[in-house]
């Protein structure tokens, strides 16, 4: 098993916290998440007429005594979560402003993906992994087996920054590949056309998935700390610009603020959970704080 993103100290910080879906999810195991499937346990839902072959243990004897008719109790069962972690591996995710202090956005996202996978498998949930740039590069279907964590780590270990990104198109592709509603966790810097991203997120919500977005950004992208003549390069293009940052700072910070606020509004309007992930904050601190906040809301 690759140990590149296996961080015992970080996993210990989040390992005892649960990630419970706040919406109805579909699955095939018995656990803590509510399912729309009918079963014979947990919470009473409704009746239906008895048909030959039904389990006699589900007969409602009180209704039989009152109406002299056979009816079966229907219940809401509990089911484990099926989660897909969707990780952006495009060129822009290779950025770090200081390799000695901060991980690249891709490395940071990979640590998040590994920790979330560990957490969900620990609580017997099924988790899968999707790696993408301008298209889906790897698609690991969700499983709840302990060996799934090894598969996730192996894929993360070989995740490389490749082509330009196309977040919106990929989200539509992934939404079509997921047959059952559950939890989708998107880890990306979200550098793409805003309308395309909004459409992709809406596709997931239309399919009744719960969606969490971890918006991964380097601190320099958020604060623009440059103070001397600098040559800027477009990681996902051929553009280059040599400029005095002092002349650009105000406009840049205004644009990045607008971009972030628009993205947050897009998520809010679609009931998508949004979390900014600044790579200068240890990933385990970020995740522990998010899970603690989530548990209070849920």
DSSP single-letter state for residue 159: -
Q: Which domains does the chain have, with CATH numbers?
A: 8-23+81-297 (3.40.50.410), 33-79 (no CATH)
Token readout for 81 is 């979560």
pLDDT tens digit at each of 298 positions of the chain: 556 777 777 777 776 666 766 554 554 444 556 565 555 444 454 566 777 766 777 778 888 888 888 877 755 444 568 999 999 999 999 999 999 999 999 999 999 999 999 888 888 889 999 999 999 999 999 998 888 999 999 999 888 877 788 899 999 999 999 988 899 999 999 999 999 999 999 999 999 999 999 999 999 999 988 777 667 776 666 667 777 777 788 888 999 999 999 999 999 999 999 999 999 999 989 998 898 888 776 5
- C-alpha–C-alpha distance, residues 222 and 26, integer Å: 38
Q: Are strands 210-217 and 183-188 parallel, antiparallel or unpaired?
A: parallel
CA 18 distance to own-chain centroid: 15
Indicate the pTM of the whole model.
0.79
State the residue for tokens 């499983």.
Answer: 143
For tokens 């390992």, the residue is: 15
């Amino acid at each position: 098993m690759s140990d590149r993103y296996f961080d015992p100290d970080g996993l210990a910080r989040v390992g005892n916290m649960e990630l419970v879906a706040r919406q109805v999810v579909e699955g095939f195991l018995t656990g803590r998440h509510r399912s729309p499937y009918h079963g014979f346990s947990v919470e009473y839902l409704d009746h239906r007429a008895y048909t030959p072959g039904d389990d006699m243990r589900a007969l409602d004897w009180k209704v039989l005594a009152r109406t002299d008719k056979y009816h079966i109790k229907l219940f809401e069962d509990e089911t484990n979560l099926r989660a897909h972690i969707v990780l952006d591996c495009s060129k822009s995710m290779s950025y770090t402003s200081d390799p000695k202090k901060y991980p690249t956005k891709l490395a940071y996202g990979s640590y998040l993906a590994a920790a979330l996978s560990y957490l969900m498998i620990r609580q017997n949930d099924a988790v899968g992994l999707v790696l993408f740039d301008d298209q889906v590069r790897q698609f690991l279907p969700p499983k709840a087996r302990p060996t799934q964590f090894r598969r996730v780590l192996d894929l993360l270990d070989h995740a490389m920054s490749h082509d330009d990104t196309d977040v919106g198109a990929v989200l539509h592709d992934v939404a079509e590949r997921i047959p059952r509603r559950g939890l989708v966790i998107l880890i990306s810097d979200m550098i793409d056309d805003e309308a395309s991203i909004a459409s992709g997120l809406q596709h997931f919500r239309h399919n009744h998935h719960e969606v969490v977005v971890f918006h991964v950004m380097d601190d320099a992208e958020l604060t623009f700390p440059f103070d001397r003549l600098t040559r800027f390069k477009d990681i996902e293009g051929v553009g280059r610009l040599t400029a005095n940052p002092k002349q650009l700072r105000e406009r840049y910070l205004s644009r990045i603020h607008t971009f972030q606020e628009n993205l947050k509004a897009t998520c809010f309007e679609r009931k998508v959970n949004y979390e900014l992930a600044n790579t200068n904050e240890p990933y385990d601190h970020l995740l522990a704080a998010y899970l603690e906040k989530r548990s209070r809301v849920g």
